[in-house]
Structure 1
Amino acid sequence: MTAPALAPFAVRYRSDDAPRLLDDPGTLALIGFGAGAATSADPRALRVPLAPLQDAVPHEQWVVDAAVSYGRDGAVRWAAGGGWLYAAIELDEAAHGGAEAAAEYAYRRLGAFTAARPERHVQRIWNYLGAINAGEGDDEHYRRFCSGRARGMAPYFAAYPAATAIGHGGAPGLLQVYWLAATAPGVAVENPRQVSAWRYPRQYGPTAPTFARAERLPGETGLAISGTAAVVGHATRHAGDVLAQLDETLANLDALQAAAGLASGFDAASPLKVYVREPRDARAIAARLRARLAPEVPRLLLQGDICRRDLLVEIDGWRFESGERGAAVKGVGSRE
């Protein structure tokens, strides 16, 4: 039986107040960043403790051209509409036995919830955890998280979707996981310049990271881009040089788009998040991005720790094939 056609989906950065954005028809999710982001009991709203490194404190708004329903299922908050699903969980790692056990619990809980829904195909995942680089060797927080994540994913994932994992400076032990799913599967995309993450050698931990470099979204919607950094093969390049790392990251984004069958470049419908380890580097990074990207490309700079201690910058985001998808929902709830 063929699944119904997916409604148009878009992601936008908006500086409006959260209540106004949540009132917009078609709002599937609203992600706020930093202490200045408003809290809300609405299940679609999530505040991520990554400090913006720019004057405005925008929200990331997911919009579908369809009616949206939403609610809670125990610890899971969710919203669905037009064949798309937002599902999120946040928890205290200590209350679930530590980083590894908490990651396994979060993925099993989200996985069971999503598997029971028509929007059961996970496209894109975000993971935000505190003190991501704390600990030495295999006791590093990120390595523990990767082991728990892999066990939690095992019952529900036949293939790995796109993903990001970034360290935040919020409450110790706070783990946030949220994802985008759909009624139809996407297609994983790998970067020919990089070893697939799940094939990393043992030097990066007992359990390789379980994600694809990007995901072609179903319905020819576009490309969901995983956290991308200055990694070639499996090795970090340009340690200590943030601008060289940024240039290498942009080269990886070009190669990833080519692997997905897309021409290189981003436009106004394709927002990017730029995670910056050291706030002092933000100005130089912003200047380089102004020189390398078209001025209309939305970008949000956030202070966040990258999963490897020698990585200084990482970029994730969306590459829609044209502005048509964004235009299709541009008028939905617009208060410009």
Structure 2
Amino acid sequence: MADAEAALAETGTLALFDFGARARRDDPRCLQVALESFDAPSTLEIWQVDAPVESGVAGDLRWSAGGGWLYAAIELDERDHGGPQATAARAYEQLRAFVGQRAEHHVLRIWNYMAAINQGEGDAERYKQFCIGRAEGMGDFFAEGFPAATAIGHHGEVPLLQVYLLACDQPGQRVENPRQVSAWRYPRQYGSTPPSFARAMSLPALDALAISGTAAVVGHASAHHDDLDAQLEETLVNLEALLASAGMSAGFDTQSPLKAYVRHGVDAARVNDFLQQRLPGVPVLVLHGDICRGELLVEIDGWRYV
């Protein structure tokens, strides 16, 4: 496990994510993610660039930048802002205003973690309310195309919305999955405002693919309701379809870290065993999180390097 203080002391450390219960750090580059890790000891994720890094705070935002790359994060308590829609709108308004005036204004990848993501029925479901607020806050900022993204529910007692992103001074290349309807074209049954993300993003100059949250969705419909093994198989098929669509060779290797979000804690060992068998040597961080559709049990995102 990487040492946090040593990593933060390095010149090129852009961001550090703690998937565990360590004490919070005041460094703007640090984020204590609201998802529980099944690893012991808990895991750190570190982003580094080949350049000096500057960092700071702007309103509710924390940020760092270096070498043409930008990290920005915001955490808001829904109790202070009026629920998931209003909180998402405020978060994305601040992100849009900050990133829009930066040289690194090409947003490539976004992560969204919120409490009780599946709570509520129909259009009152919290995830659907989040999607409305996100669209309100974004405005036309992504008129030329959406970034890759993940949205997962956490189990924290505080209804905290955490959003963080990676942006660059060069645009990436959006990638869609031919097996799936593009998320922004979902039919009305998925809410009055469809999800707004690309299935993946090829990063500029890095020969890397940032993969959005990927689950057992075919067309626009969830497949294999409540069948964990079948959902895992379908998810891997979708991941391979994304690699092919991006013009990359099949498979993942030891340099392609993934995250698996697991709805039920009792399934974590099974998910870990499945992925070790099917993706030997691939580093996978297994986290306790709720998928944005109640019938889905697992979702995978991550990185693939050439």
TM over 0.5: yes
CA distance in 1, matches of 2:237, 2:49: 31
The answer to whether residue 185 in structure 2 is matched with residue 199 in structure 1 is yes
Counterpart code for 2:28: P
Question: 2:175: which partner in 1?
Answer: 189
State the alpha-carbon separation in 2 of the partners of residues 32 and 166 from structure 1: 16
- Please say if residues 20 and 43 of structure 2, whose CA atoms lie closer than 8 Å, have aligned partners that are also in contact: no
Tell me the equivalent position of 2:114: 129
Q: Which residue does the alignment assign to 2:64? A: 79
Any conservation in 1 of the 2:19–2:44 contact (CA below 8 Å)?
yes
Q: Does 1:299 align with 2:284?
A: yes
- Residue type matched to 1:27 in 2? T
1:213-255 CA-partner distances (Å, limit 9, x unpaired):
0001111431000000000001111111111101100100000
Which structure exhibits the higher relative contact order, with contacts defined as CA atoms closer than 8 Å and separated by 6 or more residues?
1
Who is 2:196 aligned against? Answer: 210
Partner of 1:311: 296
1:112 aligns with 2:97: yes
172, 195, 204: which is aligned to 2:158? 172
Distance in 2 between residues matched to 1:104 and 1:269, nearest whole Å: 36
Question: Bigger CA drift: 121-130 or 58-67?
Answer: 58-67
What secondary structure is seen at the aligned counterpart in 1 of 2:107? strand
Counterpart CA distance in 2 for 1:220 and 1:52 is 28
1:24 corresponds in structure 2 to 10
- Secondary structure of 1:274's counterpart equals strand
Q: TM-score, normalised by structure 2?
A: 0.97
Greater Cα shift, 195-204 or 47-56: 47-56
Q: CA deviation at 1:147?
A: 0.5
What percentage of residue pairs aligned between the two structures are identical? 60
Match of 1:50 among 35, 41, 62: 35
Cα RMSD of the aligned pairs, angstroms, is 1.0
- Which of 140, 143, 154 is 1:155 aligned to? 140
Letter paired with 2:129: R
Gapped regions of structure 1 (runs ≥ 5): 1-14, 322-336
2:84 pairs, out of 81, 99, 107, with: 99
* 1:65 paired to 2:40: no
CA distance in 1, matches of 2:136, 2:198: 17
How many residue pairs get aligned? The number is: 305
Unaligned runs of 5+ in 2: none
| CA distance 1:19–1:279, shift in 2 (3 Å) | same
Q: CA deviation at 1:298?
A: 1.3
Determine helix, strand or coil for the equivalent of 2:205.
Answer: helix
Aligned to 1:7: none
- Contact persistence 1:162–1:226 (CA under 8 A): yes
Distance 2:110 2:103 in 1: 18
SS in 2 for 1:219: coil
User: How far, CA to CA, are the matches of 2:60 and 2:72 in structure 1?
Assistant: 10
Query: What residue is the counterpart of 1:330 in the other structure?
Result: none
